[in-house]
């Protein structure tokens, strides 16, 4: 569990990035911090591994104030995945994944064996181990980034907009991978995103931030969708534009039992099954959805 207690951060140039921020991030769940640029979401994330130190307030991990932990060992104990992977371009994939175990004193053989196992976990072919990052596709690089983040088996994994620079198909696959890996490993994941759809898909808890790290709403995706707390949230999730209000199209021709679903603007968003004229109903708990194991990587290349 990670707790922020009245945390503020003012940068040297006077920018107040985060103002009196209080939040509890539950263990073994995915918490997504979502907001537009300037909302302070990345600053909040970077305070967890002391890449940024708060000006005031306290941050606790499992009850321990992190201000009392040396930054370097703290960072080694927390997984970190960033946009554009942040991989070391001069090291092979296997060495990149083995980075943190090597820093904490694991032997090369041990760290490499572990790295190869992690390549399996994140769905990378072991034949890529000897390549340099620039020889991989963007999606593969992000998988390496995730594997590196997991290498020291940390309890906490910080993910700073990790999938925002890859194309939508690959992003979709990577999001699926995160959910699959999380189902297996159950880490405390803090995920920063500016994409509300990504937040709703991945988050057990979604925290919507406005300027200065102000929390405008937090809760499960279904709560936020059903009851946006403010006009800002409604606009951010697209509810104000009718993007989230769906109706079954009366006119469109459909196949079999399927009916076309449109949003308030009349744009098609999907189909819904309606056997015998009755709409299909299901339990809304998102974690029950089936997640395919070891998804095909073809779209990654």
Give the binding site for another protein (CB under 8 A). 46, 49, 51, 72-73, 75-76, 80, 82-84, 86-91, 99-100, 103-104, 131-132, 134-137, 140, 148-149, 298-299, 301
Query: Residue 153 Cβ, how far from another protein at the closest point, in Å?
Result: 14
Comparing CB distances to another protein, the nearer of 140 and 175 is 140
Interior CA angle at 94 toward 177 and 27, to 5°? 40
Residue 48 or 178 with smaller CB distance to another protein: 48
End-to-end CA distance of the chain: 37
CB 212 within 8 A of CB 18: yes
Q: Where are the beta strands (DSSP E) in the chain?
A: 2-10, 16-25, 30-34, 56-61, 64-65, 78-82, 156-160, 188-193, 205-210, 214-219, 246-248, 258-263, 268-273
Find the shortest distance in angstroms from Cβ 73 to another protein.
Answer: 7
How far is residue 229's CA from residue 84's CA, in Å, rounded to a whole number?
33
Query: DSSP for 125-177?
Result: -GGGTTS-GGGS-HHHHHHHHHHHHHTT--SEEEEESTTTTS-HHHHHHHHHH
Residue 44: CB minimum distance to another protein, A: 15
Taking the least distance from each CB to another protein, the nearer of 128 and 271 is 128
Task: Select 90 or 245, whichever has its Cβ closest to another protein.
Answer: 90
Nearer of residues 47 and 239 to another protein, judged by Cβ: 47
In the bound complex, what is the minimum distance in angstroms from residue 196's beta carbon to another protein? Answer: 25
Q: Which is nearer to another protein, 79 or 212 (CB)?
A: 79
Query: Which is closer to another protein, CB of 75 or CB of 114?
Result: 75
DSSP state of 187: -
Find the shortest distance in angstroms from Cβ 166 to another protein: 14
Which run of H or E residues covers position 110? helix 108-121
What is d(CA 157, CA 81) in angstroms, rounded to the nearest whole number? 8
Task: Find the shortest distance in angstroms from Cβ 128 to another protein.
Answer: 8
Quote the least distance from Cβ 32 to another protein, whole Å.
Answer: 19
DSSP class of residue 240? G
């Amino acid at each position: 569990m990670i707790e922020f207690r009245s945390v503020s951060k003012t940068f040297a140039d006077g920018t107040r990035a985060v103002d009196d921020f209080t939040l509890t991030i539950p263990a073994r769940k995915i918490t997504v911090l979502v907001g537009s640029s300037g909302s302070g979401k990345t600053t909040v994330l970077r305070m967890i591994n002391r890449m940024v130190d708060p000006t005031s307030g306290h941050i606790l991990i499992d009850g321990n104030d992190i201000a009392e932990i040396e930054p370097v060992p703290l960072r080694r104990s927390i997984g970190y995945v960033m946009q554009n992977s942040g991989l070391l371009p001069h090291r092979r994939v296997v060495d990149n994944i083995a980075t943190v175990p090597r820093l904490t004193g694991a032997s090369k053989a041990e760290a490499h064996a572990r790295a190869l196992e992690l390549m399996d976990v994140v769905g990378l072919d072991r034949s890529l181990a000897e390549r340099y990052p620039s020889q991989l596709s963007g999606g593969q690089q992000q998988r390496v980034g995730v594997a590196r983040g997991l290498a020291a088996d940390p309890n906490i994994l910080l993910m700073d907009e990790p999938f925002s620079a890859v194309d939508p198909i690959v992003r979709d696959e990577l999001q699926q991978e995160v959910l699959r890996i999380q189902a297996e490993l159950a880490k405390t994941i803090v995920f920063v995103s500016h994409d509300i759809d990504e937040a709703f898909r991945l988050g057990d808890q979604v925290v919507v931030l406005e300027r200065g790290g102000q929390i405008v709403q937090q809760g499960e995706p279904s709560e936020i969708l059903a009851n946006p707390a403010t006009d800002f949230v409604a606009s951010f999730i697209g509810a104000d534009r009718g993007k989230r209000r769906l109706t079954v199209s009366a006119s469109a021709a459909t196949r079999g039992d399927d009916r076309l679903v449109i949003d308030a603007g009349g744009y098609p968003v999907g189909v819904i099954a309606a056997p015998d004229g009755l709409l299909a109903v299901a339990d809304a708990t998102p974690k029950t959805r089936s997640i395919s194991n070891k998804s095909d990587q073809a779209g990654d290349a």
